[in-house]
Chains A and B, each alone.
Chain A
């Protein structure tokens, strides 16, 4: 099956590591040009250097998604550098945390507004092109217990709702919006890597909940995201795809 990704232009926010980086790699391998960012200058440089081997155009610059002006300027820069934008996948997240009200503001600023600002930064161009695919990231923790009542889980849930409404609103302009909710994904330097090292029992309990007895790998989510971002998913719009290896219990009717 041809995904039709060759020559597409993708903007990836928060893509220097983990699932984000993996999406960049899958898209670059499929022939996409990529503009990526993350907070750390060094990690952006490393990611750009590593992705260059696939022979497409890869550019990157660090940005703080909590600074609206700076962030907007970055999106404009990315659209200009790629000369358009076909795909947007924003991964910005402040991560979990409990016990301080500040976590709500962090999750709002980063998980929600980091995504909202990215979408609003590209929507004009995509409308003008009458073409675009946006994939937002939810989490299996929006629907099931994970680490207690956290701002992260609740804010992630809002993206699923918002993603659907974006799809309904912008569908007429050829813009598709879908949401992918990964289950626990393990990679070096990721949260589950740390949890394996620091909370062995909890980690083991999560493994037991996985039918396959292991956690997911970034590329296993990245490929699902790449599919939804591709022309091969032309009839997928407003969908929410759970990519968790069967981690969640609930039957989705």
Chain B
């Protein structure tokens, strides 16, 4: 078995120091999030063809074989508190209504009127007693049944078959709602495997919305997924994070459809010299944990471990139940890609989730949903739901780090379309990108990938 922490030679990289980071013993995690390093999949070294990022043909294949076949993240359960609460969310050319029923269950159906195809609701959230089409007032119940057609007697053929909108599979898991456009989709438990055990210990149901933003980005949805799947770019576009996280001692794990990496936070990158003063961003981590950095007597290199120990000791008194999390999880970033389009950073005190949705018609555009949630300590009032904001690429800042991520994407998207760019030349630190594209291949090329396939 390879060394627990690393799959690459840390001494030969562009680093100043070789650093051994504290890791919990994988045997010690019990029923918590597994920490054991998964064996690296054999995925070869071929380029990833650039055309899959801009070809309309490939986009069509993705629609037919991925987006209409998989489970998709729809929203948050706590946005569906009362009967009639609904989330209307778009995916490609489709739009669905996810609706809380009187019996507490949820149902999902296409957001359209069976009469002339009009959308019943604009994208967003709301509460309805019924869904009435604005056009001719055809009216549907919360369960999608067509309850009323004005002047039904004038339709000699009667109402549409079944008098209901197609019920779509949907499920609530771990405070989120999921749906599929495929009525015959595999069971959700099979799809999400093995991530239930990984993500449930974070208890996102104890967290409340802190940010809800959708940005129309000028790149393909996969350009975005790739950007969040490796830490190699930290030394490139996020120089400031070298005094916040360790981008070298990263553990990568690829599972069936999904993958993750574990990044030590509150740490100094081996790419820079160890400072003697506490860096501002790590200072903030300490303050957030309830520590006074001015009181701190240890070395900067000890902070990560000391924050873990401090949170372990004081979490309960702060109304934060960390009992199901291991020590690493109290500081570090466990980052998962849930195939195909969810990139989620899970932390003990917050979740930072990105949902990456394709544009309906243009492979060079996508929708980047930023969903952030913060732990609400026990006894504190549940905060008011933040307002959803929507804008276009570069219009507004979404924070320094994400701005840095966003900045490159349009030029990556245009550069990839050059005749002189055959495809992505991927290294070991980017193994998750290779894994993601392999899973994509398995969906798209069900009978095996041919030499001319993208």
Residues of B within 8 A of A198 (CB): 240, 243, 279-281
Indicate if the CB atoms of A199 and B280 lie closer than 8 Å: yes
Residues of B within 8 A of A189 (CB): 272-276
Indicate if the CB atoms of B294 and A106 lie closer than 8 Å: yes
| B239 lies within 8 A of chain A by Cβ | yes
Nearest-neighbour CB distance to chain B for A46, whole angstroms, equals: 12
* Interface band, chain A: 20 to 34
Question: Given the complex of chains A and B, what is the CA–CA distance between A100 and B275 in angstroms?
Answer: 21
* A:64-101 near B, CB below 8 Å: 95-97, 99-101
Residues of B within 8 A of A17 (CB): 276
Interface size on B, residues (CB 8 A): 19
Question: Given the complex of chains A and B, what is the CA–CA distance between A101 and B295 in angstroms?
Answer: 10
| A53 lies within 8 A of chain B by Cβ | no
Indicate if the CB atoms of B273 and A193 lie closer than 8 Å: yes
Question: Given the complex of chains A and B, what is the CA–CA distance between A97 and B447 in angstroms?
Answer: 62
* B:250-278 near A, CB below 8 Å: 272-277
| B293 lies within 8 A of chain A by Cβ | yes
Question: Given the complex of chains A and B, what is the CA–CA distance between A200 and B241 in angstroms?
Answer: 12
- Closest chain B residue to A107, Cβ basis: B294
| B292 lies within 8 A of chain A by Cβ | yes
| A103 lies within 8 A of chain B by Cβ | yes
Question: Given the complex of chains A and B, what is the CA–CA distance between A106 and B278 in angstroms?
Answer: 14
Question: Given the complex of chains A and B, what is the CA–CA distance between A194 and B277 in angstroms?
Answer: 9
| A191 lies within 8 A of chain B by Cβ | yes
Indicate if the CB atoms of A95 and B240 lie closer than 8 Å: no
| B299 lies within 8 A of chain A by Cβ | yes
Residues of A within 8 A of B16 (CB): 188
Residues of A within 8 A of B239 (CB): 197, 200
Question: Given the complex of chains A and B, what is the CA–CA distance between A100 and B287 in angstroms?
Answer: 11
Indicate if the CB atoms of A194 and B243 lie closer than 8 Å: yes
* A:173-200 near B, CB below 8 Å: 188-191, 193-194, 197-200
Indicate if the CB atoms of B275 and A102 lie closer than 8 Å: no
Indicate if the CB atoms of A102 and B295 lie closer than 8 Å: yes
| B242 lies within 8 A of chain A by Cβ | yes
| Among B272, B274, B277, contact of A197 (Cβ-Cβ < 8 Å) | B272
| Among A99, A100, A190, contact of B295 (Cβ-Cβ < 8 Å) | A100
**How would you classify the secondary structure of chain A's contact residues: helix, strand, loop or mixed?**
loop
Indicate if the CB atoms of B294 and A97 lie closer than 8 Å: yes
Nearest-neighbour CB distance to chain A for B113, whole angstroms, equals: 53
- Given contacts A40-B299, A197-B242, A200-B240, whether A97 and B293 have CB atoms under 8 Å apart is yes
* B:149-204 near A, CB below 8 Å: none
Residues of A within 8 A of B281 (CB): 198
Indicate if the CB atoms of B280 and A191 lie closer than 8 Å: no
Question: Given the complex of chains A and B, what is the CA–CA distance between A118 and B184 in angstroms?
Answer: 79
- Given contacts A40-B299, A194-B243, A197-B243, whether A103 and B274 have CB atoms under 8 Å apart is no
Indicate if the CB atoms of A100 and B293 lie closer than 8 Å: yes
Question: Given the complex of chains A and B, what is the CA–CA distance between A103 and B292 in angstroms?
Answer: 10
Residues of A within 8 A of B293 (CB): 97, 100
Residues of A within 8 A of B273 (CB): 188-189, 193
Question: Given the complex of chains A and B, what is the CA–CA distance between A199 and B240 in angstroms?
Answer: 7
Indicate if the CB atoms of B276 and A102 lie closer than 8 Å: no
Residues of B within 8 A of A102 (CB): 292, 294-295
Residues of B within 8 A of A101 (CB): 294
| Among A40, A193, A199, contact of B272 (Cβ-Cβ < 8 Å) | A193
- Given contacts A102-B294, A193-B272, whether A96 and B277 have CB atoms under 8 Å apart is yes
Residues of B within 8 A of A191 (CB): 275-277
Nearest-neighbour CB distance to chain B for A154, whole angstroms, equals: 15
Question: Given the complex of chains A and B, what is the CA–CA distance between A99 and B243 in angstroms?
Answer: 21
| Among A99, A194, A199, A200, contact of B275 (Cβ-Cβ < 8 Å) | A194
* A:213-227 near B, CB below 8 Å: none
Nearest-neighbour CB distance to chain A for B253, whole angstroms, equals: 29
Question: Given the complex of chains A and B, what is the CA–CA distance between A103 and B294 in angstroms?
Answer: 6
Question: Given the complex of chains A and B, what is the CA–CA distance between A17 and B275 in angstroms?
Answer: 10
Nearest-neighbour CB distance to chain A for B244, whole angstroms, equals: 8
Residues of A within 8 A of B274 (CB): 189
Question: Given the complex of chains A and B, what is the CA–CA distance between A190 and B292 in angstroms?
Answer: 22
Residues of A within 8 A of B279 (CB): 194, 198
Residues of B within 8 A of A188 (CB): 16, 273
Nearest-neighbour CB distance to chain B for A37, whole angstroms, equals: 15
Question: Given the complex of chains A and B, what is the CA–CA distance between A101 and B294 in angstroms?
Answer: 8
- Given contacts A40-B299, A198-B281, whether A190 and B275 have CB atoms under 8 Å apart is yes
- Closest chain A residue to B239, Cβ basis: A197
Residues of A within 8 A of B292 (CB): 100, 102
Nearest-neighbour CB distance to chain A for B118, whole angstroms, equals: 50
Question: Given the complex of chains A and B, what is the CA–CA distance between A200 and B280 in angstroms?
Answer: 13
Indicate if the CB atoms of A197 and B240 lie closer than 8 Å: yes
Nearest-neighbour CB distance to chain A for B296, whole angstroms, equals: 9
* B:272-321 near A, CB below 8 Å: 272-277, 279-281, 292-295, 299
- Closest chain B residue to A151, Cβ basis: B294
Question: Given the complex of chains A and B, what is the CA–CA distance between A188 and B271 in angstroms?
Answer: 11
Since A190-B276, A194-B279 are in contact, a sample of 18 more A-B pairs with Cβ atoms closer than 8 Å, ordered by chain A residue number, is A40-B299, A95-B276, A95-B277, A97-B293, A97-B294, A100-B293, A100-B295, A102-B292, A102-B295, A106-B294, A188-B16, A188-B273, A189-B274, A189-B275, A190-B275, A193-B273, A197-B243, A198-B280
A-B contact pairs, 22 of them (CB 8 A): A95-B276, A95-B277, A99-B294, A100-B293, A100-B294, A101-B294, A102-B294, A102-B295, A106-B294, A189-B272, A189-B273, A190-B276, A191-B276, A193-B272, A193-B275, A194-B275, A197-B239, A197-B240, A197-B242, A198-B243, A198-B279, A200-B239
Which positions in A face B, CB cutoff 8 Å?
17, 40, 95-97, 99-103, 106, 188-191, 193-194, 197-200
Which positions in B face A, CB cutoff 8 Å?
16, 239-240, 242-243, 272-277, 279-281, 292-295, 299
Sorted nearest first, the 7 A-B pairs with minimum C-beta distance are A189-B273, A102-B294, A100-B294, A188-B273, A198-B240, A95-B277, A194-B275
